[in-house]
Structure 1
Amino acid sequence: MTQIDYYFATLSPYCYLAGTRLEEVAQKHGATINYKPFDIIAGFARTGGTPPGDRHPSRIEYRAQELPRQARKLGMPFNLKPAHWPTNGAPAAYAFIAAQNAGGGDLGKLAHAITRSVWADERDIAEDAVIRDCLEEAGFDAGLADSGLLEGAETYARNLEEAVEAGAFGAPFYVVGDARFWGQDRIGDLDLHLQGKL
């Protein structure tokens, strides 16, 4: 069975815009998804990237046009300047990892609920109540927000190392064997790759 390694960031607007299209593609091809939440800011530092606020004004201005444009194209609500960004994305990542280990819910729905909370719902994903709501929405026990924190931190750090090793320098980033796809706008290319057309 084909495995897709999915490197994502709980704070990434582009991961939010990916919605659940990755899950649809994986289901179509009978592929499994190995979710790997990682620290995107640390990833930028390790791979030659620049955090959004430190970028050249031309890049900041383009991002300000491109994100709402992509959201409109996808028919998704979007706030370019959410009330709780930046925030600490690690607690939500730790809860995601706990849910991944526990099983019983929908990880794709959970990833989307977390990112949607930031970019559409004006909620702070560093808060336990928000994380608990996301877990419940995706069919997981809300108590996972308080469990496995050490293991979550260790996995989160390991995912960063694996991302760098796999050549992932942004999020969302999809890896299938030696093939790499960066960005929510490359899910179609991933689909074609899994069809053997790319």
Structure 2
Amino acid sequence: MDSIEFYFDFVSPYAYLASNAIEALADRHGKKLHWLPFRLGVAVVKVMGLKPLLDTPLKGPYARHDASRMAKVLGLPLTDDFSMFDPVPAQQLMYTQPLEQRPVLAKALLRARWAEGRRLGDMDILFDVARKAVGLDEQQFRETIESKQSRSAVNEATRAAVSRGVFGSPTFAAGNELFWGGDRIWLLDQYLAAGAQYVPAAVTPLTPKIDGNETQRT
């Protein structure tokens, strides 16, 4: 197991909030990080029969508040614009880029949407972000967006993600293990540190503290 797969959708603020941490974790463990956008709406709406998270009563307002407070704690800028958009064109751009360019483009797109509040559903804005990130010219951009092949690549990536059991963004895969949510990065970290197995850990985010110090397992 020499890699970690990072499944995400650009519509997910949690994918943006987790992107720096998962990249740092992969680097710390000497793992290649594969950035794999997929159509979250297919997994949530068509496969599970649910509403999108931000459109769900009670859960939607909570998620907005939760993402905002997480951003503050992480020291990351986060827009207050949580409006939905079609992520497929951005995903098409990802799957037509060379592998080494995909992390650069993914981070630029996540930052543009969630740090800067830019509407990636606007093709002029999407092109501007891609041009600055990876030097895409206008002809390449238009050809990619209009290409049936690039759309098929997104659909195939989505089918592969769902077949693997992915249902949320972000999800991380290490070998046969899936970890859903940025709040499970610590568990993935422990799993890799223990040689791809689960063993009792001395300290975790859930370890009770006594007088400001973590209790140690014995």
| TM-score w.r.t. length of structure 1 | 0.85
Asked if structure 2 preserves the Cα contact closer than 8 Å seen for 1:67 and 1:80, the reply is no
Q: Report the alpha carbon displacement of residue 78 of structure 1 after superposing the two structures with TM.
A: 1.1
- Number of residue pairs matched? 191
1:80 aligns to what? 80
1:118 aligns to what? 113
What is the rounded CA distance, in whole Å, between the counterparts of 1:54 and 1:136 in structure 2?
32
| 1:92-126 deviation per Cα after TM superposition (whole angstroms, max 9, x unaligned) | 11111111xx2453x33322221222222121212
Q: 2:184 aligns with which of 186, 189, 194?
A: 186
1:7 aligns to what? 7
Aligned AA for 2:108?
A
Please show how residues 102-141 of structure 1 align to structure 2 within 5 Å: 102-105=98-101, 107-138=102-133, 140-141=134-135
Asked if structure 1 preserves the Cα contact closer than 8 Å seen for 2:127 and 2:141, the reply is yes
What is the rounded CA distance, in whole Å, between the counterparts of 2:40 and 2:107 in structure 1?
17
Asked if structure 1 preserves the Cα contact closer than 8 Å seen for 2:36 and 2:157, the reply is yes
Q: Report the alpha carbon displacement of residue 153 of structure 1 after superposing the two structures with TM.
A: 0.8
Choose between structure 1 and 2 for higher RCO, CA contacts under 8 A separated by at least 6 residues. Answer: 1
Aligned to 1:142, the other structure's residue is in SS state coil
* Higher alpha-carbon deviation: 114-123 or 125-134: 125-134
Q: CA RMSD in A?
A: 2.1
What is the rounded CA distance, in whole Å, between the counterparts of 1:4 and 1:96 in structure 2?
18
Q: Larger radius of gyration, structure 1 or 2?
A: 2
Asked if structure 1 preserves the Cα contact closer than 8 Å seen for 2:35 and 2:106, the reply is no
What is the rounded CA distance, in whole Å, between the counterparts of 1:162 and 1:103 in structure 2?
18
Identical aligned residues as a percent: 27
Asked if structure 2 preserves the Cα contact closer than 8 Å seen for 1:110 and 1:137, the reply is no
1:170 aligns to what? 168
1:150 aligns to what? 148
Aligned to 2:81, the other structure's residue is in SS state coil
Structure 2 spans left out of the alignment, 5+ residues: 199-218
Residues 66 and 137 of structure 1, relative CA distance in 2, 3 Å threshold:
same
What is the rounded CA distance, in whole Å, between the counterparts of 1:17 and 1:24 in structure 2?
13
Q: Report the alpha carbon displacement of residue 9 of structure 1 after superposing the two structures with TM.
A: 0.2
Aligned AA for 1:2?
D
Aligned to 2:190, the other structure's residue is in SS state helix
Matching of residue 95 in structure 1 with residue 93 in structure 2: yes
Aligned to 1:61, the other structure's residue is in SS state helix
